Structure 1
Amino acid sequence: MRVALVLKTDEGGRWTLPHVDELRERGHEVIAVLPPGSEGRLRKALHDRGVDVVQSAFDFRFRPAPSTLTGLLGLRRQLRGIDPDVLHYHLYASALACRLAALGWNVAKVHMVPGPLFLESPLIRSVERFLCRLDDVVIGGSEHIAKLYRAIGLAPERTPAIPYGVDVEDFTPPSPAYRTASRDALCAGDDTFVVCMVAYVYAPKRLIRPGRGVKGHDVLLAAWKKFAKDRPDARLVLLGGGFDAAGAAHKRELLDRFDVAADHTIDWHDSVIDVRDCYAAADLSVSPSLSENHGAAVEAAAMGVPSVVSDAGALPEVVDPASGWVVPRDDPDALAGALREAYADFRAGTLRRRGELARERAERLFAQHRAARAVADVLERAARDRRAAAR
């Protein structure tokens, strides 16, 4: 079969690559439709695989202007020219564009949802209650997302839950030498309690939690101030710059608000070549998001790092009481309490066992190769069902 993969970004969305690889290994053709623009990392990865990439006629920005209609009509012509058996899309703007561009067209449509944030807007949720019925299948990137779609009226058979997962062969517990080298790079000795948070900084959204960054950096920084004031042997490593110009501005505001430059227990890096270096050095990972799917916690787990996660979205699916902690979202006091418990485990020598159990859980529930096979199965089934209905 031929699959048209549509995303509103050519930079992010690399979590689709295992799906592309699995589909092509089965002999299917994949053609990607990405927004016009520069050579982003997703576009390059697709080119390196020999996947055809089409520059979308639509820029995935919905504005009350004639160019929006013109762009959608252009996208429809492009998709009809590709003539796919399955139209497959991720990210909400991509879903809106594909649904509108494919109105009245007999093609299987499969939407895979990487995060629940848009459904937390009452306005968007009320609209999505009707628009999601244009999809043949909505794959929830977690049980949490699948349940949200079932709550607005889609049947369970149309809402499978499949994680995006993590590559458990690339993300593995570090060797002693790798861990030592990674900690040396941070000037962290064996007795230093190293906590990491790996996440881009996103600017606050206008419709959802106005004024707040969704990843919860402010929550962690407030909790850290409480936790670390009498623990000079603790180190917080934040990894991630602003996702865009607005995100970079929000990061600068956080740096100023929490006086990060004057705090010797905090290091904040914009980026590194390999995030695994950060996890290799860490004793604990923290995901304090206000809204999230599985997030960075699955990468940490795969590398044998236990996590403290908020109760937002699908984060509680990643840990269990043996492998980490779940705390109420937007609660610095509760987060500081979990940090104290993890620190006590670190000092007692029992924190490492939590990391071993986190790794076992990642292998069992979030292995990327199994998830990719499940996504390919759904796409094949959707194409068969659409062909059968047409007959």
Structure 2
Amino acid sequence: MTRSRPRILWVSTSPDTRGGIGSYVRTMRSTRLWRDWDVRHVTTHRNGSGISKVATFGAGLARFGAALVRRPDAVHVHTASYGSFARKAVVTWVARAARVPVVLHVHGGEFVRFHDRCPAPVQALIRATLHTADTVVALGDRWAERLADVAPRARILVVPNGVRLPENPRPTDRDPGVHVVAVGDVSDAKGTFVLLDAWAKLTAELPPGSARLTVAGAGEVDRARTAVTDLGIGDSVEVTGWIRPGAVAGLFASADVLALPSRAEGQPMAVLEAMAHGLAVVATDVGGIPDLVGADQGILVPRDDPEALTAALRVVVTDDARRTAMGEAGVAAVRERFDVDVVAGRLDALYRRVTGRVPTGIDDGAPAEPLVLTIVLDRTGFGGAEIVLLETVRHLDPTRMRARLVCLRDGGALADDFRAAGIEVEVLERNGRYDLSTLPKLVAGLRRSRTDAVLVTHHHRASLLLGRIAARLTGAASLVAVHNMDLVAQGGRCLPRTTVETLALSQALVLLSPSQGEYLHREEGVGSRPWRRTREAVVRNGITIGPAPSADDRAWARSELGLADTDEVVMIVARLYPEKAHEVLFSAIAELVPSRPRLKLVVVGDGARRPELEALTERLGISGITTFTGVRRDVRRLLPAVDVSALSSTHEAAPLVLLEAMAAAKPIVSTDCGAVRDLVTDGTDGHLVPIGDHTAMADRIGRILADPALRDAMGAAAYAHAVREHRIETTSDDLTTLVEELSADPRPREHTR
């Protein structure tokens, strides 16, 4: 059903303002939060003179009042300390007087100190303001505890700051020497002058040119430049003054270390942005910084301690291996906990709870339960769809949704993997097609677990039927997930006709890509009649993505496969089944052999065609350069050995193996089938060729092998594409959001929680 987007009113400093809140607003604007919700922004502060600040607040307050007349669903107020809190307290009380829910987001690193320095009447006002908000957002666990000391009855929720990971890997052609950067106001509060003193001590010990420091920010710039001259460190220090926000990313891309020896902080965006770029962090252990930076990501020192700061800088400047490891750990931490899309999902769930649109399980102190999703399969198999399901439920936010698995027949190949991930697995031991006990047992399990939604997949036909019926009987929402396409051309179908004819009885059709939906409409009749329609939602396949492989990863993989460093390696990972059309790739390799004497082919997978395909390599004269590995569960560790990842299938959906190759920064050459075009941008991430065209495949593989620069550029683009669109955390969040929305659908349901 179609609904207008609920409106959220953001109130903060201008997004163009220097500092963390402005950076936060700019970052969140790029997320789905601003697409899924009608977010309007009101500016109540911007940099400038005192008069201009008063004028900005007055104009902002007037716009805020006008916006309240149009009844937003909630107001999200971003505050720091001192004057910022005074302005936002006015906004908060006006919103509460208008009976509009308020989310009060506390960013300031000195907030508790600000409270403690105020006289008792002002402290009472601060406490009352925090208490009146529907939710107070703290940036980390430490700040939540301190805010609870200030306002014991406040409803406090921890939502960390978020940052977007760079799309491209770090450049390798950077200037020599270790580059340390300090980004933020140039002031005593940010520890700028303690840093310059420490730098003078450090560089006196180092060879000339081995390290350089860039201090970027507004504030006491002239004082800093004078200090650089007085300390005699002008050869290794540049004080740039303020740089525009868009240039900060470029500065981080050229750097190795962030230094932030502040006296007070909240949860500084500069630290998150630096970690996202793979920088080691040296900072003071103040405010919310310890919630961001552990021993793996950097070194924390006491405030105003130049000796400790010098020692920490000495470690990250002189120990290349440790500095690199810290940078990699920082990227991993951002990806897991601080990625902007993960944070946006937390705010999305908060908004749904505050506005009453969708019940959520976020732990804000209220006795709320996570939603329950039951996956119903005939049995688990070691296929791409089941592996994606396993990884998706493994990465669910347990405060929002938990999953359980029901296997109708037996557990199958992955049941123990689901159990190891903490997923409840129930096996019904169905005995044949006419086992009438299966449906009652399934219904009883759904009721016992208080299931909110049932997910079934198109290729498990018994569960596709019985799972939907059981969901209907218990009042749970039912979701039909489709993991294939283009089967009509092969004489089959993805969805049975009975499923299409009753699709309106399900609440959602879960697709891997837009083109898959187009196929189902065009070829299988989905949507052509009212009873064949339901909500269609794209939940893209995702995988766990780490740093791009290193030279050591490549060396290990080549050694494992018995390959030389100079070999040109093409790999295909696919079951040895007819639809994978290995003969097309094999013929392409045979065409390339005369011009590429170091060419090697690695075939990962097994199946009924193995004897036939081994014989084919003999006939084509490529048996000596071809390795059949059989099934390998360490494909991700083997992919760094590859120069080109190939796939020659006649039909696919969104093959997981291509995502894994992209996450390994490998260019793709694939047949243009199924939803592959939604994964691979032809000419950017790799090449697409017509189905069955071995000559075109040989040509595209040859082009990449002949041009190492092209190979590396396509690999980098593939990696950036995977990071941007196919992280498993995004898949899990999208599925959770879909179930939340379906659970909020006001259609009559027998089962209520």
Q: What's the TM-score bracket when you normalise by the shorter of the two chains? A: 0.7 to 0.9
Superposition map of 1:353-368 within 5 A: 353-368=713-728
- Give the corresponding residue for 1:137: 508
2:454 partner letter: L
Distance 2:395 2:548 in 1: 25
1:335-383 deviation digits (Å, cap 9, x = unpaired) = 122122222223xx43111111111111112122112101110011112
1:4 partner letter: T
Q: 2:484 aligns with which of 115, 129, 138?
A: 115
- Give the corresponding residue for 2:343: none
1:188-228 deviation digits (Å, cap 9, x = unpaired) = 333321111112223xxxxxxxxxx1122222122222222
1:31 partner letter: R
Give the RMSD, CA atoms, in angstroms.
2.8
- Give the corresponding residue for 2:464: 95
1:308-340 deviation digits (Å, cap 9, x = unpaired) = 011110111222212200001122222122122
Residues 322/23 of structure 1: CA separation in 2 closer, same or farther (3 Å cut): closer
SS at match of 2:631: coil
Shift in Å, 1:105? 5.1
TM-score (norm. length: structure 1): 0.83
- Give the corresponding residue for 2:686: 324
Residues 250/80 of structure 1: CA separation in 2 closer, same or farther (3 Å cut): farther
Conserved 8 A contact 1:18-1:369: no
1:163 partner letter: R
Superposition map of 1:17-166 within 5 A: 17-37=390-410, 40=413, 42-58=414-430, 66-67=434-435, 71-72=438-439, 74-93=441-460, 94-102=463-471, 106-116=475-485, 118=487, 120=489, 124=493, 127=497, 128-151=499-522, 152-154=525-527, 158-166=535-543
Answer yes or no: is 1:269 the counterpart of 2:600: no
Shift in Å, 1:71? 4.0
SS at match of 1:116: coil
Q: 1:241 aligns with which of 606, 623, 627?
A: 606
Q: Which moved more, 1:270-279 or 1:14-23?
A: 14-23
1:228 partner letter: V
SS at match of 2:745: helix
Conserved 8 A contact 1:57-1:72: no
- Give the corresponding residue for 1:10: 380
Shift in Å, 1:118? 4.8
Distance 2:459 2:686 in 1: 31
Residues 157/95 of structure 1: CA separation in 2 closer, same or farther (3 Å cut): closer
Q: Which moved more, 1:351-360 or 1:145-154?
A: 145-154
Answer yes or no: is 1:351 the counterpart of 2:724: no
- Give the corresponding residue for 2:34: none
Q: 1:190 aligns with which of 561, 565, 572?
A: 565
Q: Which has the larger radius of gyration?
A: 2
Distance 1:120 1:71 in 2: 34
2:617 partner letter: F
Distance 1:366 1:183 in 2: 27
Conserved 8 A contact 2:401-2:736: no
Residues 298/262 of structure 1: CA separation in 2 closer, same or farther (3 Å cut): closer
Answer yes or no: is 1:297 the counterpart of 2:662: no
Distance 1:189 1:163 in 2: 36
Distance 1:145 1:178 in 2: 35
Distance 2:492 2:680 in 1: 31
Conserved 8 A contact 1:173-1:304: yes
- Give the corresponding residue for 1:209: none
Ranges in structure 2 where 5+ consecutive residues have no aligned partner:
1-370
SS at match of 1:163: coil
Q: 2:548 aligns with which of 164, 170, 173?
A: 173
Conserved 8 A contact 2:509-2:534: no
Residues 115/25 of structure 1: CA separation in 2 closer, same or farther (3 Å cut): same
1:185 partner letter: E
Distance 1:328 1:112 in 2: 27
1:297-318 deviation digits (Å, cap 9, x = unpaired) = 1110111000001111011122
Distance 1:262 1:238 in 2: 12
Q: Which moved more, 1:43-52 or 1:252-261?
A: 252-261
Percent pairwise identity: 23
1:248-287 deviation digits (Å, cap 9, x = unpaired) = x222222223328971111110133411232110011001
Conserved 8 A contact 1:241-1:270: yes
2:571 partner letter: C
Residues 233/7 of structure 1: CA separation in 2 closer, same or farther (3 Å cut): same
Distance 2:653 2:507 in 1: 22
Conserved 8 A contact 1:149-1:159: no
1:315 partner letter: V
Q: 1:226 aligns with which of 584, 587, 591?
A: 591
Residues 134/225 of structure 1: CA separation in 2 closer, same or farther (3 Å cut): farther
2:484 partner letter: G
Distance 2:714 2:731 in 1: 24
1:328 partner letter: P
Shift in Å, 1:76? 4.3
Distance 1:105 1:289 in 2: 41
Answer yes or no: is 1:286 the counterpart of 2:646: yes
Distance 1:365 1:27 in 2: 22
Q: 2:743 aligns with which of 360, 383, 391?
A: 383
- Give the corresponding residue for 1:208: none
2:697 partner letter: L
Ranges in structure 1 where 5+ consecutive residues have no aligned partner:
203-212, 243-248
2:477 partner letter: A
SS at match of 1:312: coil
Q: Which moved more, 1:131-140 or 1:301-310?
A: 131-140
Distance 2:488 2:538 in 1: 16
SS at match of 2:379: coil
Residues 239/319 of structure 1: CA separation in 2 closer, same or farther (3 Å cut): same
Answer yes or no: is 1:309 the counterpart of 2:686: no
TM-score (norm. length: structure 2): 0.45
Conserved 8 A contact 1:309-1:316: no
Conserved 8 A contact 2:645-2:666: yes
Residues 333/299 of structure 1: CA separation in 2 closer, same or farther (3 Å cut): same
Conserved 8 A contact 1:214-1:290: yes
Residues 219/262 of structure 1: CA separation in 2 closer, same or farther (3 Å cut): closer
Shift in Å, 1:291? 1.1
Distance 2:579 2:464 in 1: 21
Conserved 8 A contact 2:472-2:478: no
SS at match of 2:538: coil
